[in-house]
Amino acid sequence: MRTAPELAADDPCLEGCLAGRPEAIEQLFKMYSPIVQRVIGRLIGPTADLEDLVQTTFVETLRNLPRFRGEAKLSTWICGIAVHTAHHHLRAGKVRRHVPLELVAEKHLTVVQSENDHNIDSARLAVKLHALLDQISPKKRIALLLYVIEDKSVEEIAALMKATQAATRSRMFFARRELRKLIISDPELASLADGMLKKAVGGER
């Protein structure tokens, strides 16, 4: 995975953002929007709301920027805001799934891609899988996908979701179990889940 860009708490760009300078805000957006788009896209799945959610994340980032003290990397801090934005949207139950397959970006299909997959088949699987994930509570869904897809540790997920590690492990356990039950009648998705969840079966890191 490509290393995320980082800005220190005293970087002139952040000082410019705090002062409301458009060029600094644009620089921040260009640096961190790919990370935000990837995280929200993977947590929510194919949706027409993606760009709006990215914008919402940056509105919240700028609103909360005075609180950033540099204790964590800026990318991690912004990722936490993206996770909160995704969770709020999922909890509201307003995810729009009617997205033309040709508009489903390749980077949002990671959960279903393999070397032999065709993009169009991956897109269909992504839509089907996330429709099932919609039936799992947002907290459990996000914890599982951050672990399996974003390769976050239990400690990192707990910090991003402002939860205990025990609660995070519990959410992941129940999310895996519920997802398996939901897809058991679909052989194609059942095979996908076995591969996707294999990493988590061995226990936490």
Q: What is the pLDDT of residues 40-85, one digit of tens each?
A: 999 998 888 999 999 999 999 999 999 998 889 999 999 999 999 9
Q: Among the residues of the chain, which ranges form H helices?
A: 12-18, 22-44, 50-64, 74-92, 119-133, 138-148, 154-161, 165-183, 187-201
For residue 182, what are its two tokens? 């939901």
In a domain, 169, yes or no: yes
Report the CATH number at residue 28.
1.10.1740.10
Structural domains counted in the chain: 1
Tell me the per-residue pLDDT of 10-35, one tens digit each, with 9 for 90 and over.
999 999 999 999 999 999 999 999 99
Please check whether residue 81 lies inside any domain of the structure.
yes
Q: Which tokens go with 54?
A: 């990215």
Percent of the chain with pLDDT over 90: 55
Give the pTM: 0.81
**Whole domain around residue 120: which residue ranges?**
12-201
Q: Does some domain include residue 6?
A: no
Q: pLDDT, tens digit, for every residue of 132-181?
A: 899 999 999 999 999 988 989 999 999 999 999 999 999 999 998 898 88
